[in-house]
Amino acid sequence: MTENQKKHLKIGGGVVIGGIVIYYLFFSASSAGSGGSAEDPTGNGGVTNPGNLYVFDAKKVADELYDAMKISGYASFINPNERERIFKALERVNPTQFGQVVQKFALRSYNKTFGNQINYLPFTSLPLEPLKVWLKTELTEDDYNLLKLKYPNHL
């Protein structure tokens, strides 16, 4: 082997080893860090859920509540299934988690008069209301008080 071939062999070997090191530094570390791992007990990293354990997701619960209340108006009177959807969404939510749901729900446009998102006055926008107002308007007083007992710090 000539000196020139030895030189090219050393350079090629260094490039291969450098490529392997860079691969393990960037690709294996980023995939473990961004999505979480199977040992992540919070489930916040998009982890697969072995054993079908309940994984709380505040945004998902807030969206389920919004979907249950956004169209028909006054869930307890017009469509009892809407009331069931509200209670189903909150079934496994503890008071601390409900605080997160309230934050994720934030303020959304709502017509308190008709209990929906239909704006009957042109050239005006609906007021932005928190989850508390949505629930108080949609549910009967008994149903709302039941939720108020479960989540006293937020309703």
Classify residue 43: in a domain, yes or no. Answer: no
Q: What span, in angstroms and rounded, lies between the C-alpha atoms of 138 and 115?
A: 6
Q: Number of folded domains in the chain? A: 2
Classify residue 41: in a domain, yes or no. Answer: no
The per-residue pLDDT for 63 is: 94
**Mean pLDDT, the chain cut into blocks of 10 residues (155 residues total):** 84 83 68 46 51 81 89 61 88 93 92 76 87 89 92 91
pLDDT per position as a tens digit, 43-58 = 455 545 555 667 889 9
- Domain with 15, as residue range(s), is 1-36
Both 2 and 30 in one domain: the answer is yes
Q: How many residues does the chain have?
A: 155
Q: What span, in angstroms and rounded, lies between the C-alpha atoms of 41 and 69?
A: 32
Across all residues in the chain, what is the average pLDDT?
A: 79
Q: Which two tokens stand for residue 113?
A: 């008069």
